[in-house]
Amino acid sequence: MFRSKLKTVFLSVSVTILAASLISFPQESFDASIRGLNMWWEIVFPSLLPFFIVSEMLIGFGVVKFIGVLLEPLMRPLFRVPGVGGFVWAMGMASGFPAGAKFTARLRQEGQLTQIEAERLVSFTNSSNPLFIFGAVSIGFFHNTHLGILLALAHYLGNICVGLIMRFYGNETPEEEVKKRNNSKIRSALSALHQTRLKDNRPIGKLLGDAVNSSIQTLLMVGGFIILFSVVNKLLYHLHITAALAKTVELLLSSLSFPEMLSIPFISGLFEITLGSQLTSLVHESTLLQKAMITSFILGFSGFSVQAQVASILAQTDIRFKPFFLARILQGVFASLFALVLWKPIYIRITNNEQPSNALPVGFFGEGTWTNHFYHRLIEIGPLITIFSLLLYVLLLFSRLKKN
């Protein structure tokens, strides 16, 4: 009872301080809101919406179940999750935060995952997409195309390590259910696809409308969290709370021979990955390796902004948030260690030789390439896609209310 009252007092005081800070720093709060809004409607909304809509339709048509049956022999031994986890993992890496959580929650609601399996799966299927790592962080902040390969490898290898560790989380799936799922023949996969489609039983138009409606609702929630944490991060800085927290981090950084100037970017990154990565790139007192390790941790930890988005999505199911949070700390540590380990064999070798035989071609991500062009093109047309999608959402919502 005492803990509950203490929690109530803490939350009430925190919200009151936040409200007072908004009144005390109106211009700073407004600027931070605009920054968060621009990030959402230029990049996040137009890049995630197609993935969300297509994924909803793939689930409805039974394609995900088909893929799940085929991938069962791979995902079950490695990560102790059903084969559908392979679909969530791939879509999470391709589309970025918080896609892995949304697809996991959706499959849990469909009954294709148990609670423990969903908690294992969500812990390693949320990651930054390659476009953000290469386009925004590597080129946009560090102006270094080579660094993107190191950051991406460290990030995704950290993800795999988290998945392998989380396989030991929770109790085993009942043996009879494993046997039932382990049949990965093509005929069984096709049968599962057909049965899932018949079970859904929605017309194509209704399925598409539901996919658009659900996807836009999720992205509106994501946008709210991005704007909120952009403001909170700015207010913490002006209230000198970031500096106070940084004093504690300075002790840890100095013990690792890192410059103390990295403490504020690190704290900022714990709240919001974009700002933390940008501030880290501006610290001239540290080496590039040190900045790469800090950035890798920030990308792996994901920031409280992304974690709040995930918590909101998971709250719609019985999936607990605590395993996801612990997995984020693990991935941050793993990603930093991989950045250190891979520094010489990957980054140094690439910089000495533009295209070694066993490395990814840097020109694929460099300036003037189609990936860089696509990133900047997305910034230009992103707002138009967002506005059109929101208008479509309003029309769908209006038509449904009119029918009711």
pLDDT digits (tens, 9 = 90+) for 125-177: 888 888 788 877 888 788 888 898 999 999 999 999 999 999 898 875 544 44
Q: Per-residue confidence at 369, pLDDT binned at 50, 70, 90?
A: low
Q: What are phi and psi of 256, to 5 degrees?
A: -100, 10
Integer Cα distance of 299 and 96 in angstroms:
11
When comparing pLDDT for 196 and 284, which is higher?
Answer: 284
Integer Cα distance of 140 and 127 in angstroms:
19
Q: If you average pLDDT over residues 308-314, what whole number do you get?
A: 90
Q: Quick one: DSSP state of residue 142?
A: S
pLDDT of residue 86: 85
Integer Cα distance of 169 and 120 in angstroms:
7
The amino acid present at 73, given as its one-letter code, is P
pLDDT of residue 180: 47
* Neighbour count for residue 301 (Cβ, 10 Å): 24
Task: Tell me the percentage of the chain whose pLDDT exceeds 70.
Answer: 88
**Picking from 218-232, 319-333, 370-384, which range would have the lowest pLDDT averaged per residue?**
370-384
C-alpha distances out from residue 230 to 121, 225, 271, 279, Å: 28, 8, 8, 14
Q: Per-residue confidence at 338, pLDDT binned at 50, 70, 90?
A: very high
* Residue 359 clears pLDDT 60, i.e. is over it: no
Q: If you average pLDDT over residues 82-108, what whole number do you get?
A: 85
pLDDT of residue 311: 92
When comparing pLDDT for 222 and 334, which is higher?
Answer: 334
pLDDT of residue 197: 66
| Contact of 273 with 305, CB cutoff 8 Å | yes
| Contact of 380 with 373, CB cutoff 8 Å | no
Task: Tell me the percentage of the chain whose pLDDT exceeds 90.
Answer: 21
Kindly tell me the burial class for residue 335, based on how many C-beta atoms sit within 10 Å of its own C-beta (0-12, 13-18, 19 or more): buried
